[in-house]
Structure 1
Amino acid sequence: MYTILAADDAKDTLMLLEFDLQAEGYQVLKAEDGESALAAINNNNVDILLLDLYMPGMSGIETLKQLKATPEQANIPVIMLSASDDEDKIVEALELGAHDYVTKPYIAKVLLARIRNAIRLREKTLTLENLAKTDFLTKLNNKGSFEQLSLKAINQGSRAMNNMAVAMIDIDHFKAVNDNYGHEAGDIVLKQFAQLLAQTFRDYDIVGRVGGEEFAVCMPEVNQHDAVNACERFRKAVEQTPMELGNEQIFVTTSIGVACAQHIEVGYDFNQMMQAADKFLYDAKQLSRNVTLSHPPEGQEEIVQQTPAQTTTVNENHEKGFVGIDYQVGLSNVLGDDDLFKEILKMFFDDHHQDGVKIQQAIDTDDQASMKHLVHTLKGVACSVGAMQLFERAKQLDFAVNDGDKESYQGLFDNVSFELNRVITGIKTELNIV
């Protein structure tokens, strides 16, 4: 169903427009002046604007100017309505970007036909814009769109001094896939790889294809541990997921380089971050492939490296007792330093054993700021200590908080609370915390 906003200071005209448009199946919004029309567009998905040329306060021409000056709204088709025969004003409106002009009193059949034409034109425009921004094979952002969206996200992150990360991702030995199975099979692998990439990362992460078998992800509001762990989840998923080539299955691996703003001299420079991530990707491919490389932690000289071999060298006995924690994951985040990891677990207990009470209080009092801070922080530290089930549940609640989906808070929090209590109890028992 398309939504049409009718802006006119004549209430009888608005009533007629509402009657005629609703009879054709359109959803109708109404505004009696320019300011109200712009506010309605800001708060709703408007497909067509019917705009009176002369209105008190902000005129139709001024309203049109402001609308076309806003990039996110500039493509909304505008049909001007007026009883005036002032040709200069009509020409001015059309030159400012109005799609069409209809005189009042309008003929319903004519107006509806022009609305249908405007909708068809908008759909074609949106289709062309989408094609211009989308990689034709994988349906991900193409290189230009990825760079544009990432630049915007990084600029926003720099103003708020948020953590940011960029990952460069490459399919290992992809040439061998094309050589052994043909380019059609290579395209199938690229599409399945891209689908897995889009499914693994968050909805608001920016994912794109930036080369033949090269992909990139921009991750806003994420620290180094979370960024590396997210890339590791994807690397392992690729390693374990068969690529379906008709009656045959093949497996591929991927190498990943991760750059974080806080570790780069010009931290919030998009090109610097991409260059750093590309350098780590190059090192990963030179090292062994099927590996994720990133910056060294503070005070460490060696590169953070997560590989299949690394996770298998950890003492399996460490997992016992720590309920809800994958000890191997947490230990790998501190490069295998067992004593340091236990200190971190103690800090996690001290800082977060009351989080359940605090989050419940934030829900009860509708304290959105505290809610967002508590849940987002808990999600990050849960991943850092290897509490992966807690991380997943906190992530779902974090998404709901970001979307303002208050009806989901309590149910999702109940899952978080259950898992948090398991983790806290396990740490308390294993570390003999009184």
Structure 2
Amino acid sequence: MPFAVYALGLAVFAQGTSEFMLSGLVSDIAADLHVSIPAAGLLTSAFAIGMVVGAPLMALFSRNWPRRRALLFFLCVFSAVHVIGALTPSYGVLLATRVVGALANAGFWAVALVTAVSMVGPEARARATSVVVGGVTIACVAGVPAGAALGGHWGWRSAFWAVALVSVPAVVVIARTIPGARPKSTPVPARDELGALARPRLLLTLLTSALVQGATFCAFSYFEPLATHVTGFGAAWVPALLALFGLGSFVGVTVAGRIIDARPVALTTAGLLSLAVGWTGFALTAGSPFATVALVFVQGMLAFGTGTALISWVFRLAADAPTLSGSFATSAFNVGGALGPWFGGLAIDAGFGFRSPLWVSALLMVLALGTAGASLGMRRATDRTRDGIPAI
């Protein structure tokens, strides 16, 4: 695996830390900037919306740039807005930096995924994807708890400084290792790349990916009240449980990256089925500390392993959209990340309790199985037609 791919993973680690770290800093930000806690919570929502919208827009904006220039531009902007965020006394300015940072993050993600895949052979594309996505899982294991610890000792601004500083070595390595020349092949017209979105199989795969991530973040966002009010853990256990979920996620992307290229259909199907069963089992056994600890790890492993497999499917189905395929996958990932917590919150507000987000996750996985099954049916119909057998 080229060293440059790991540099991309390091940058994604910094960006993933930024995306999720506010969950432990909201109260401090609200007190320091004299705003309500819900207003401080909007900083996370603004970032998620910026990621969804920004991925295709930034990919189009930079599509004619050399990939090194695009990666460095997005990463430098991302780092700079965190410096501004660490210095500003204004809530409005901080909110604006979160939106701009999300746009830069989305642009980096879209280009990084395409760059990582282009630097390896077809047999290693899923592994390269897993290295980049792995940056997010390491952020869950180490970055987010570290950000919370920094905020607790030196204030929330120190976490923003830390994210900016972690981005610096990634800038240096990317500048030295990513080729600076434009690809030699003739660029695919933007209209043709966008036309790939009209393909039903690609749309179904993107929808499946969004549903899987929705299920993941629906449950992940409410682990704290679930653990303390349903399972009976003390508040001190919550960081350990979140880190355990991140550790499982890291194992999942690592394993998936090494094996998914060999049997993509079987492994993706097994992952989707296992997630549906796992979230259902978690909802039924959430009162058991042993079951909760085990399933937090297992579901993290399955969620991000399956998510990596689905990103690989997007690249397979959008092979003739080399610039925008990464942005398609990034947007789907973040649509799920934005909607999942909202769905879980609706269930809690409706009076179904803190166990209800797990049931919502299970329901989202049933829907994901339906969309994945429809996509597989289209694939088999296409294969039958190609072989001269009329599709049913």
Shorter-chain TM-score above 0.5: no
Q: TM-score, normalised by structure 1?
A: 0.26
Comparing both chains, which one has the higher relative contact order based on Cα–Cα distances under 8 Å and sequence gaps of 6 or more? 2
Which of these two proteins has the greater Rg computed from alpha carbons? 1
Q: TM-score, normalised by structure 2?
A: 0.28
Choose between structure 1 and 2: higher strand proportion. 1
